Amino acid sequence: MEQFAHLLDRLLYAPQKITKLKLMADYFIHAPDPDRGIALALLTGALDLKNAKPALIRQLVMQRVDPDLFRWSHDFVGDLAETVALIWPERATNAAPPRLGELPEQLAGLKAPEAGEQLAGWLDTLDATGRWALLKLVTGSLKVGVSARLAKAALGDAFETSVDEIEEIWHGLEAPYEPLFAWLEGRAPRPDMSNRAVFRPLMLANSLDDMELVKLPLADYAAEWKWDGLRVQLAARGSERRLYSRTGDDISAAFPDIVDFMTFEGVLDGELLVVREGEVAPFDDLRQRLNRKRTTAKMLQQHPAHIRLYDILFDGTEDLRGLGFEARRARLEAFWGREQPERTDLSELIPFDSVEALEALRAGSRSAQSEGLMLKHRHSVYQAGRPAGPWFKWKRDALTADAVVMYVQRGQGRRSSFYSDYTVGAWRDGEEGAELVPVGKACSGFTDEELKKLDKWVRDNTANRFGPVREVTQSLVVEVAFDSVHRSSRHKSGVAMRCPRFHRIRWDKPAEEADRLESLEKLID
């Protein structure tokens, strides 16, 4: 437990991905089975140990600590689990600390008051970091900034195996993953997943700019719309049906309206969209269906999910990934015609005969509810990752607006000494005349040289400090590029930009001439 607790503690503070990767890889190499397997399950979200409510934790500590001292401590520390971890009276005990690998089994089926006694017994055996980790795990409030993908990537790094190879068997495995570790350590063959609906790593496209387009042998490429939804994979084998995100997260539970209708066998590649009466809804409609623990009937009815199919990887058990794009497309059309899978359609191929025709198509993509165009080499085999050459995405031009810098924060990792996170605002009429309201936060799009200049500007123009946040004088205009605008109840302005980034810094432009909120509201699609 303590080894894992110290990993979590370090992950909590590590600002850079590369640091997190190294910390986790080091743990996976050195921790024993089955502890590391349970750790992997906890980090990837495949398992949780949620078993106690904050009230139970509070009750346990109140039996041991003076109430006034606890109250002052809680006020000072802020977080309940952390306060309890720190204040817990240490006493000599002969009991051994809990083993991470045994925790899920020991916790399962434990109910209060036994759960409280067991927890207290464990807390007596752990150090402060161990107590913190245990309390965070059992209250289900652990956040260390690690995604499932990152944890798997660390596992790949640890044993010099590509993360794609791990992904391909991942969803057929269960904690504590001993056959996985045995394979990674060369002690056993790769677990056989041929009968499981596992995730197959996706093929991704490179960005294309206008210059490169001219050089491309266009006759060799097929074009289709780049739909603005969520790239997904549908995998069905036997009775097992799963919907995977681009990174291999199993999102089946949130989309019963897709999974329930996967009556075929095979693996398909497509775009998850909300479609009403044949019309693709804005991305924001889909966003509301994501990250939900429970999907209500109302949600299913008002935000109906739909799959627009791009590609086929397996037809039944036949692996088609070695075929060229056109051959796979023919198989996809045949498959679709045969199976008639509900709530799906085929992403149409768009005929074109010249660069000009393509440019005209792309220019119209915003009204077509698409993000731009995809260009796929007619003979491209389906390769995991982002190979250079066969597939390109050619996004529609970004929208832009002139916004005023309002608040700035330091960045993370390499940027921790620079003010690099910029909250920008647009003008509206307030009670006391024109006022700025935040519309987005941009953290990229500038060069290192520009960042140095911006950093100096922030330091010279700070009006107020709120902890780590600096409010600056309302005097710097930035031309911000963004993909779209949607309504947001979390922003005071009522709108939020999608993927805002710096396009140009308008050192010369007076702040009064920046854009007004109304002009952004008009862009909501």
Partner 1 sequence: MAKAARRASWIKVRPEGLFVEPGGFYVDPTRIVDRAVITHGHADHARRGHGAVAATAETLDIMRVRYGKTPFKISQTLRFGEKINITGVTVWLAPAGHVLGSAQVVVEYKGERVVVSGDYKRRPDRTCIAFEPVPCDVFITEATFGLPVFRHPDDTREIATLMHSRELFPERCHVIGTYSLGKAQRLISLIRAAGYDRPLYLHDSLLPLCKLYQAYGVDLGELLPATADEKGLPRAGLEGEIVLAPPPSISDSWARPLPDPVICMASGWMRVKQRAKYGGVELPLVISDHADWDELLTTLDDVGAPEVWVTHGREEALVHAARLKGMEAQALRLIGYEEEA
Judged by the rule CB under 8 A, the positions of this chain that interact with partner 1 are 6, 10, 12-15, 19, 22-23, 26, 65-66, 68-70, 72-73, 76-79, 82-83, 86-87, 90, 127-128, 132, 410, 412, 414, 416-417, 467-468
State the Rg of the chain over Cα. Answer: 26
User: Toward partner 1, which CB reaches closer, 76 or 354?
Assistant: 76
DSSP 25: H
Quote the CA–CA distance of 486 and 481 in Å, as a whole number: 14
Least distance to partner 1, CB of residue 399, Å: 33
- Helices of type H across 367-481: 448-460
Q: Which two tokens stand for residue 300?
A: 């299913």
d(CA 312, CA 323): 10
Reading the block at residue 100, the tokens are 């991470």
Closer CB to partner 1, 133 or 234, in the complex: 133
Name all contacts of 280-288 with Cβ < 8 Å and 24+ positions apart. 280/227, 280/228, 280/229, 280/369, 280/370, 282/228, 282/369, 282/484, 282/486, 282/525, 283/228, 283/229, 283/484, 283/486, 283/498, 284/486, 284/487, 286/229, 286/230, 287/486
Shorter beta-carbon distance to partner 1: residue 412 or 475:
412
Q: Return the structure tokens found at 333.
A: 């059309």
Backbone region of residue 272 per phi and psi (left: phi > 0; alpha: psi in -120 to 50; beta: other values): beta
86 versus 112: smaller Cβ distance to partner 1: 86
Query: Which contiguous run of DSSP H or E holds residue 68?
Result: helix 67-77
CA distance readout (Å), 427 to 220, 283, 401, 514:
48, 26, 12, 7
Handedness of CA 245, 248, 250, 256 (dihedral sign): positive
Nearest to partner 1 of 141, 195 (CB atom): 141
Both tokens assigned to 184:
């990674």
Kindly give the pairing relationship between strand 318-319 and strand 370-377: unpaired
Sign of CA dihedral 422, 426, 427, 430: negative
- CA 345 from chain centre, in angstroms, equals 26
- Distance (Å, whole) CA 84 – CA 89: 9
Element (H, E) at 69: helix 67-77
CB closer to partner 1 out of 133 and 203: 133
Number of CB atoms found within 10 A of residue 58's CB: 14
SS3 326: helix
Q: How far is the CB of 467 from partner 1 (least distance, A)?
A: 7
Residue 204, classed as helix, strand or coil, is coil
Please say which residue, 145 or 385, places its beta carbon nearer to partner 1. 145
Whole-number Cα distances in Å, 326 to 266, 313, 333, 348:
18, 13, 11, 13
Q: Which is nearer to partner 1, 26 or 240 (CB)?
A: 26
To the nearest whole angstrom, how small is the minimum distance from the Cβ of residue 53 to partner 1? 22
CA distance 218 to 136: 55
- Number of Cβ within 10 Å of residue 82's Cβ equals 17
Of residues 28 and 310, the one with the C-beta less far from partner 1: 28
CB of 416 to partner 1, least distance (A): 5
Residue nearer to partner 1 on the CB measure, 131 or 396: 131
**Two structure tokens written together for 221:** 């490429």
> Which parts of 288-369 are beta strand (E)?
305-315, 318-319, 344-346
Name the minimum Å distance from CB 259 to partner 1.
Answer: 39
Closer CB to partner 1, residue 118 or residue 462? 462
Pick the closer one to partner 1 by CB: 296 or 417.
417
